[in-house]
């Protein structure tokens, strides 16, 4: 496995080892001991699967206080995946990193606790899988507006398909500090 640290400390691109032959390919998508050796020590307890059409944008989501680390990957299609540092006191607070994940590159992205997460579908459809380190807690569901100008994410869709909830999320500057994780 190869690891690539992004410009946001702790947000890691994982390139699993893939074994290909004329029949297709095989790869491990998670092996606790190997991921721990790479520094990913979160105890994942919930797996989620999302299917979306082109230009769908989901996010930017986080949970507080029951923060979730996530290990995300695309099983089919292609997405632009984003992590935003929302930890109070962090030297990279409000900064984002974006990575293209696809069935072709088979990359994974590890997003630690304290980051908001979102993605936009680039292909006709995308099947997106992710592991979470804490269970979904509806009362802790939070988010940041996808188009927050202070964050300045260069999304690949100018007019994305959004849920009603995601359209109403606040700007990062308008979130009370007590509803943000601490660095």
Q: What is the pLDDT along the chain (183 residues), one digit of tens a residue?
A: 888 999 999 999 999 999 999 999 999 999 999 999 889 999 999 999 999 999 999 999 999 999 999 999 999 999 999 999 999 999 999 999 999 999 999 999 999 999 999 999 999 999 999 999 999 999 999 999 999 999 999 999 989 999 999 999 999 999 999 999 999
| Distance in angstroms (rounded) separating the CA atoms of residues 79 and 57 | 9
Q: 173: which 2 tokens?
A: 């500057």
The domain that contains 106 carries what CATH number? 2.60.120.10
Q: What is the pLDDT of residue 68?
A: 97
Q: What is the pLDDT of residue 110?
A: 98
Q: 161: which 2 tokens?
A: 């398909």
| Domain count along the chain | 1
- Which residues carry out catalysis? 61, 130
Residue numbers of the domain that contains 155: 2-179
Q: Residue 35 forms beta bridges with which residues?
A: none
| Distance in angstroms (rounded) separating the CA atoms of residues 67 and 137 | 10
pLDDT tens column, 25-55: 999 999 999 999 889 999 999 999 999 999 9
For 100-114, give one letter per residue: b (16+ CB within 10 A) or e: ebbeeebbbbbbbbb
Q: What is the pLDDT of residue 162?
A: 98
Q: 143: which 2 tokens?
A: 């988010």
Q: Per DSSP, which regions of 16-143 are E strands?
A: 18-21, 24-27, 46-53, 57-63, 70-76, 78-85, 96-102, 108-111, 115-121, 125-132, 141-143
Q: 139: which 2 tokens?
A: 């009362």
- Tracing tokens 């680390």 back to the chain, one arrives at 69
Q: What is the pLDDT of residue 182?
A: 96
Q: What is the pLDDT of residue 151?
A: 98
């Amino acid at each position: 496995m190869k690891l690539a640290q992004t410009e946001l400390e702790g947000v890691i691109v994982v390139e699993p080892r893939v074994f290909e032959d004329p029949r297709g390919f095989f790869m491990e998508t998670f092996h606790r001991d190997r991921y721990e050796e790479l520094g990913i020590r979160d105890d994942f307890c919930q797996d989620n699967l999302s299917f979306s059409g082109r230009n769908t944008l989901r996010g930017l989501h986080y949970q507080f206080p029951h923060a979730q680390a996530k290990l995300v990957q695309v099983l089919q299609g292609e997405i632009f995946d984003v992590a935003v540092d929302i930890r109070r006191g962090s030297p990279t607070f409000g900064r984002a990193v974006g990575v293209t994940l696809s069935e072709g590159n088979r990359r994974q992205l590890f997003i630690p606790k304290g980051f908001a997460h979102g993605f936009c579908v680039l292909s006709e459809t995308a099947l997106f899988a992710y592991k979470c380190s804490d269970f979904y807690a509806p009362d802790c569901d939070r988010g940041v507006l996808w188009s927050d100008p202070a964050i300045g994410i260069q999304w690949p869709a100018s007019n994305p398909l959004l849920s009603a909830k995601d359209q109403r999320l606040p700007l990062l500057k308008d979130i009370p500090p007590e509803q943000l994780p601490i660095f």
